[in-house]
Amino acid sequence: METAATWPSGRAVDVGQEEARQAAPLRSSRHRLSNRVMDVEAHSRIDPTRVWLGVQPDTYMATVEGNGLLQPAAGGAGHPTRRGRYCRVEGQALAYAQKKARREQRTILFIDESGLSERPTRVCTWAPKGQTPVLQYSFNWKQLSAIAGISFWNFYFRLFPGTIKGPQLVEFLQALVRQIKGKLLIVWDGLPAHRSALVRKHVESLDGHIVLERLPAYAPELNPVEYIWGYMKTRELANLCATTIGEVSQFARNRLKSMQRRPRLITAFWKQAELPI
C-alpha cells in the first residue's frame, strides 16, 4: 500500500515516487556516443564527422554507489626491482634445479657480478664530538669489475678491469672447473653476457660438465652473491678513499680473501637469500 508524507512546506509527497526519484541516475554534463554511429561492420572505416555528430548531450550517468561499484584505489608501492607476485612459481623452479643437482651429483653455484671504483661507499662512522668526518678522494671513470660464485661451503671470485663480458665469463668458468671437482650447476641472472654465443659454445664444449639455470627476472634477493657485495661494500670497503684503482683492487682482493676464511659469514649469505633450500 502506498503512503504519503507531508514535508515541512505542507506539500504532500508520494513516498514511493520520492524513493524512485532519489534512486534514479544523476544527470551529468558528459556526452555519450550513439550505438548507430559506433557499431559498424568489420573491415569498414568510421567517418569522424558522423561520430562527432552522433555525440548526444544530456546523457544520464549512474552513480558509483547506486550500482554497488568501488572507487578505484592505488595499491601500496612495491620494491622498484623486486617481484610483486608469483613467488611460489619461482620457488618451484629453484626447487627443481636443486633436485636436478642432487640427482646428477652436481655442485650448485650462484654467480653474480658487481662494480667497484675509486668513489668510496659512504656509511656512518665514529668521530670526535663536533668534528664531522670528511672523505677526500680522487675520482675518475676507471672501473673495476668483480665476479663471484658461491657454493654451500665457499665462494670464489675474480677481479677484472673494465666491464665483464663473454671472455671474462669463460675465464671464470674455466677457473671454477679447475678448482671444484665434479659437475656444476650454475645459477645466474639474465645478463646479456650470460646469454652470449661465446659462453654458450664454451658450455656446450664441456659435454655436460656445466649446466646453466637462470634466475627469475627482477629477483636479486634470491642470489646469495648479492649479499657478498653488500657486506663487502658497506663493511670491508666502507669509507675507503684510495688514490688509484689499483689500490682499490688490492684492498678488495685482500678483504674478499679474508671473507672466504669465515664459514659463518658464508652461511649468513645463504640465510639472507630468500631461497626455498
What pLDDT shows up at residue 122?
A: 77
Residue 213: name the closest of 62, 72, 103, 100 by CA: 100
Whether residue 245 contacts residue 144, with contact meaning beta carbons closer than 8 Å, is answered with: yes
Average pLDDT, integer, range 10-14: 48
Residue 40, pLDDT > 70, answer: no
Of the given ranges (91-105, 113-127, 178-192, 229-243), which has the lowest mean pLDDT? Answer: 91-105
Say what the alpha-carbon torsion angle 180, 183, 187, 193 is, to the nearest 10 degrees.
Answer: 80
The secondary structure of residue 234, as a DSSP letter, is I
pLDDT bracket for residue 134 (50, 70, 90) = confident
Higher pLDDT, 245 or 225: 225
Band of residue 161 on the pLDDT scale cut at 50, 70, 90: very high
pLDDT band at 5 (very low <50, low <70, confident <90, very high): very low
pLDDT digits (tens, 9 = 90+) for 178-234: 999 999 999 999 999 999 999 999 999 999 999 999 988 888 889 999 999 999 998
Is the predicted pLDDT of residue 31 greater than 60, yes or no?
no
Q: Is residue 59 pLDDT above 90, yes or no?
A: no
CA 108-113-116 angle, to 5 degrees, is: 145
Look at residue 86 and tell me whether its pLDDT is greater than 50: no
Q: 21: pLDDT confidence band, cut at 50, 70 and 90?
A: low
- Grid cell of 177 as nine digits: 672447473
Ranges of beta strands (E only) in the chain are: 4-6, 12-14, 26-27, 32-33, 55-56, 60-61, 106-116, 144-150, 155-161, 183-188, 210-214
pLDDT recorded at residue 254: 93
- 87-124+136-272: what fold? Nucleotidyltransferase; domain 5 (3.30.420)
pLDDT higher at 12 or 154: 154
First to last CA, the chain: 71
- The owner of cell 688490492 is 250
Is pLDDT larger for residue 53 or for residue 164? 164
- Say what the alpha-carbon torsion angle 28, 33, 34, 40 is, to the nearest 10 degrees: -160
DSSP state of 238: B
Percent of the chain with pLDDT over 90: 42
pLDDT-derived band of residue 28, with 50, 70 and 90 as boundaries? very low
> For the chain, which residues make up each domain, given as ranges?
12-63, 87-124+136-272
> Cα 16 to the chain's mean position, in Å?
57
Tell me how far apart the alpha carbons of residues 148 and 225 are, in angstroms, rounded to a whole number.
Answer: 7
Q: What is the mean pLDDT of residues 34-58?
A: 49
pTM above 0.75, yes or no: no
Give the pLDDT score at 6. 45
Q: For the chain, what is the radius of gyration of the CA atoms?
A: 33
